[in-house]
Amino acid sequence: MHPTTPQVTELVERTRQLVETTVLPLERSSDGDIERAGGDVVRLELQEAARQAGVFAPHAPVEYGGHGLGMVDRAPVFEAAGYSVFGPLALNIAAPDEGNVHLLQEIATAEQRERYLAPLARGEVRSAFAMTEPSPGAGSDPTMLATRAQRDGDDWVIDGDKRFITGADGAGFFIVMARTSPGDSGATMFLVPGDAPGLSVGRHITTMDKSMVGGHCEVSFRGVRVPGDAVLGEVDRGFANAQVRLGPARMTHVMRWLGAARQAHDCALGYVAERQAFGSRLGDLGLAQQLIADSEIDLAATRALLLTACAALDRGERASHETSIAKTFGAEAICRVVDRAMQLAGGTGVSDDLPIARLYREVRPFRVYDGPSEVHRWSIARRALRRHQAPA
């Protein structure tokens, strides 16, 4: 796909084999539902298999047993893992853990890294990022943050409700965003153990996607007390520091889901290469070719935008514009690719006889997760306009 090191090429190939031989069969037998497949038990088995295959934790620092890949190098490996919706679990690169590893690596103290990052990178615990809230709190608009943390001596006491917290059920720890000052920017991130008194994980909000261990949960914080060294980054710098996580996390989402789109596309190609109608193979009919070509274009454009943004991140740029663009285009393109695959496979495509319908349910939420396309477009437009703004 693009020039890369032999190390990456080998990781991609080994990941591909692991996915094909070990991960995909499990995805198929459980209809892609991680709970039905066995949840955390299966996660640990898959991670052991990935360790055996030498592909575990491609993103994590070498000191914690990872391969230490940069963003550009992650792209093909994550895509190969994401070909199966359980692949990222196997490599320990599923959301939200993968993004949390990145965040902790960037801004945690040495002590925090030892306590939280090390076991997370090794797959010993899972984690969650507790940001979004029920209405009228922070949904797409982070400035509406309602969860509060108040100082009490050297401690902080956290109160509030979170919603749609991915991986919450069974998480070893949470990174919690809470308001510590009034105004748009006065937020702080805290590291909170999963068994902290006052923290309770409520119901799972069931969604179209089924591949994430620990679900998307409601979580409440009632007088949750944490010590001063639970602050991740600096007080009142929570939003700014979270940006460290956001850009790369968006890109790894695209990488993974791009793999899933490719599974659907391959499946459809296999179907139309064999099925006959109207005097030829389906794949030789012009109206099918239109769908195939459009999906090839969408896959290529997603990958090209992804690499452009990853290269900027690897150069140390914040790359908000590039990651917003790659995420917005990618999420929509990926949905289109899976949708076209479904159309190409006709009645079989909308049935459970093929994985396509399931993959569609899995990728559709991506146009909402990590910022809906509309919110990204709004940011993209404002940045573009700022370049041309008339001086006052």
Interaction residues for a copy of itself, span 87-106 (CB under 8 A)? none
Residue type, 246: L
Interacting positions 300-339 with a copy of itself (CB under 8 A): 300-301, 303-305, 307-308, 311, 315, 321-322, 325, 328-329
Window of 12-20, 93-101, 253-261, 370-378 that interacts with a copy of itself by CB under 8 A: 370-378
Nearer to a copy of itself, 260 or 342 (CB): 342
139 forms part of the interface with a copy of itself (CB under 8 A): yes
- Residues whose CB falls within 8 Å of the CB of residue 297, separated by 6 or more in sequence, listed in order: none
257 forms part of the interface with a copy of itself (CB under 8 A): no
16 forms part of the interface with a copy of itself (CB under 8 A): no
Window of 62-70, 117-125, 175-183, 374-382 that interacts with a copy of itself by CB under 8 A: 374-382
Least gap, CB of 121 to a copy of itself (angstroms): 28
Helix (H, G, I), strand (E, B) or coil at 257: helix
Q: How far apart are CA 375 and CA 253, in angstroms?
A: 17
Binding mask 213-242 for a copy of itself (x = CB under 8 A): ---x--------------------------
392 forms part of the interface with a copy of itself (CB under 8 A): no
Nearer to a copy of itself, 74 or 340 (CB): 340
Interacting positions 148-187 with a copy of itself (CB under 8 A): 163-164
Least gap, CB of 28 to a copy of itself (angstroms): 14
33 forms part of the interface with a copy of itself (CB under 8 A): no
Largest pairwise CA distance in the chain: 80
Q: How far does Cα 249 stand from its chain's mean position?
A: 6
Nearer to a copy of itself, 57 or 219 (CB): 219
Burial 94-103 (b: 16+ CB within 10 A, else e): bbbbbbbbbb
Q: For the residues of 97-162, what is the DSSP string, one character each?
A: HHHHHHHHHHH--HHHIIIIIHHHHTTSS-EEEE---STTS-SS-GGG---EEEEETTEEEEEEEE
User: Is-contact 174 230, C-beta < 8 A?
Assistant: no
